[in-house]
Chain A
Amino acid sequence: MSNENPMLEVKNLSKSFGTIKALDNVSFTLPRGKVFGIVGDNNAGRTTLLSILNGALQPDSGEFYLDGQKADFKNPSDAYDSGVAMVHQFVKLVDIASIWENFYLGRELTRKSGPITLLDLKKMRETTQKTISGYGHKFDVDREVRQLSGGQRQIVAVTRAIDTNPKLLLLDEPYHGLSQRVINDIFAILKDARESRGTSIIITTQWFEQIKDFVDEVMVMRRGRIVGHFDVEAADSGHIFKLAMGLAG
């Protein structure tokens, strides 16, 4: 992999649902190791964009390149294989399964036992415990996820995504309905991933203020289009708010 390639290059992506244009000719380039914020009001198309990058949706037209390679994701599994991980707006965990099972959902650890391959329950349990407590959270990883608070669930989802060691991490409003304390925790986890692994990140929000200290650049989306793109130093909250709401001339 050559280092000159940008992490992600999005070219003219469009996606419609019936008559609704959820994405309308979206293009941008995310350099390696950078963090982009996407600000938008409801229905701006943020979830649609991230879902395409994560392989859950396919675009009607346009394409994107990951690390210089044209991506043709048919499902999230393809995206995962190419190093893309996503934390969903409405956290996707199996409520009746334990924390460690959710942590390793879709990427279970196994061990050979003679001719057959069995789950390595012990290792999954221990590694989950170690990883999550490494971020300062004391969880009994045998607990079922349904017993967790919204914040704890989000911590599980975020640490799980980072643990896959993605090249590109997509976060869709990862602090939706959480307390400031948990939001700070999540940003601490993300900053650590960024600094220690150089993970490239796209994070969405409704409020620019929420991500201001974390992102390098910010894009504003409205009705499926990118209506503004700024370096964070040059970004003005008031102006971004107006762009997102469609109030700017």
Chain B
Amino acid sequence: MELANSKSNSRGKSIRNFLGEYYTWIMFIVLYIVAGIIVPNLFTSTTMVTILVQGTTVCLLAFGMTFAMLVGEIDMSIVAVAAFSPMISIMLWEAGLPVPLAMILVLLFGVVVGIFNGLMVTKMKIPSLIQTVAVWWMLSGFVLIVTKGAAKTGLPDAWMFMGRFNVIGRIPLLIPFFVLVLILAIIFARRTVTGRRMYLVGGNADACAAMGIPVDRIKIIAFVMSGVFAALAGYVLSARMGFVSARFAVEWLMPAIAAPVIAGVSMNGGKGNLINVIAGAYLVQLIVMIVRTGGVGGYYTDFVQGVIVFIAILINTFRERLSQ
């Protein structure tokens, strides 16, 4: 009986559910249009492509962060991984390693750091905030030692191919690659046993363990995902910019935390829609861009960005409260 009743108004309800679910996209689109009035160039295809391309870094970092958050943890080491992985790989290339191997090595570093973080958090019971801040510090410190602070330019062409070769118009090869990676990540999270178990473990690890789910392993895999996405973010950034440096990507840590939170990913674990994280990442990217080009002077930029991100988080938090 209940079922029959719900069917008659199910269409109105499902549209409302849809809008509620993808609220972050609405925020992004609304902000884009409003900002377009202030920043005139925003609707040109050039600017749109620029935002699309520049946003890949924060989006990949945010995806990585989301996997850690889904299992109720956090990964602060992502920006260090994003600098360390391409930097060490490039140095090994300079020492004679073939480019393809160097590129594979980038991802491998992400995997290894992820396993290390995951093992320390699950087996040694170190809080992930402490563990990953320590790793962040160690990795970026290590990069400083080996580079003495100097940036690396003159990356091999094959390395930069993704960032420099345009498939259509001004859209570089990295965009289709990026889209493919996002789609695979979304399928992984929603449709595979391991991916869904991340949500369940984040929801109630104890209940999962009682039903035989290997909770530690699921958490370790989540850290591997965040490590790999961080490494990818670093690679993509270097392929686009044509250099790597010790402080590479570091300004993207706060956006990478803010993006999932704006998108409704719960920091307690168990909740979060990756499709919304894309919107969250581009929303943050847009805010950064507006503030930079909108004439907010040098010393004010960080503050204004922080305030806008904070407001976005507030809006989404209130919306979630109301919908419950």
Contact = CB atoms under 8 A, between A and B. Distances in A.
Interface of A: 56, 75-77, 79-80, 86, 88, 92-97, 101-102, 105-108, 110, 116-119, 121, 138, 140
A223 to B, nearest CB: 26
A99 to B, nearest CB: 13
Contacts of A93: 204, 207
B243 to A, nearest CB: 37
Q: Select the residue from B2, B6, B206, B212 with max chain A CB neighbours within 10 A.
A: B212
Interface in B180-230: 187, 191-193, 196, 199-200, 203-204, 206-214
Nearest to B6: A140
Contacts of B206: 92
A119 B207 contact: no
Contact of A94 (B187, B208, B214): B208
Given A96-B271, A118-B191, A106 B212 contact: yes
Given A76-B209, A96-B203, A97-B200, A117 B193 contact: yes
7 contacts: A76-B211, A77-B213, A96-B270, A105-B207, A105-B213, A106-B211, A140-B3
Nearest to B268: A96
A77 B199 contact: no
A95 B204 contact: yes
Contacts of B208: 94, 105-106
Contacts of A97: 199-200, 203, 270
Nearest to B200: A94
Contact of A92 (B1, B192, B211): B211
A119 B210 contact: no
A143 B240 CA distance: 45
A47 B204 CA distance: 20
Contacts of A96: 203-204, 270-271
A60 to B, nearest CB: 21
**Interface pairs A-B: 4 shortest CB-CB:** A77-B212, A106-B211, A92-B207, A94-B203
A76 B212 contact: yes
A77 to B, nearest CB: 3
Contacts of B191: 118-119, 121
Given A76-B209, A76-B211, A96-B270, A118 B192 contact: yes
Contacts of A92: 204, 206-207, 210-211
Nearest to B204: A94
Contacts of A77: 212-214
Query: Chain B at the A interface: mostly helix, strand, loop or mixed?
Result: helix
Contacts of B270: 94, 96-97
A98 B206 CA distance: 17
Nearest to B215: A75
A119 B196 contact: yes
A105 B271 contact: no
Interface in B1-23: 1-3, 6
A171 to B, nearest CB: 14
A115 B61 CA distance: 28
A105 B200 contact: yes
Contacts of B199: 97
A157 to B, nearest CB: 10
B203 A117 contact: no
A119 B193 contact: yes
B270 to A, nearest CB: 5
Contacts of A79: 212
A74 to B, nearest CB: 11
A115 B155 CA distance: 36
A117 B192 contact: yes
A119 B192 contact: yes
B210 A86 contact: yes
A129 B200 CA distance: 20
Contact of A95 (B203, B210, B212): B203
B211 A101 contact: no
A54 to B, nearest CB: 8
Given A108-B196, A119-B196, A140 B271 contact: no
A119 to B, nearest CB: 5
Given A76-B211, A117-B192, 12 more contacts: A56-B210, A76-B209, A76-B210, A86-B210, A88-B210, A92-B204, A95-B203, A97-B270, A105-B213, A106-B208, A116-B192, A138-B2
Contacts of A117: 192-193
A94 B207 CA distance: 6
Interface in B250-280: 270-271
Nearest to A55: B212
A92 to B, nearest CB: 4
A82 B214 CA distance: 17
Nearest to A109: B193
A235 to B, nearest CB: 31
Contacts of B211: 76, 80, 92, 105-107
Contacts of B214: 77
A101 to B, nearest CB: 7
Contacts of A88: 210
Nearest to A77: B212
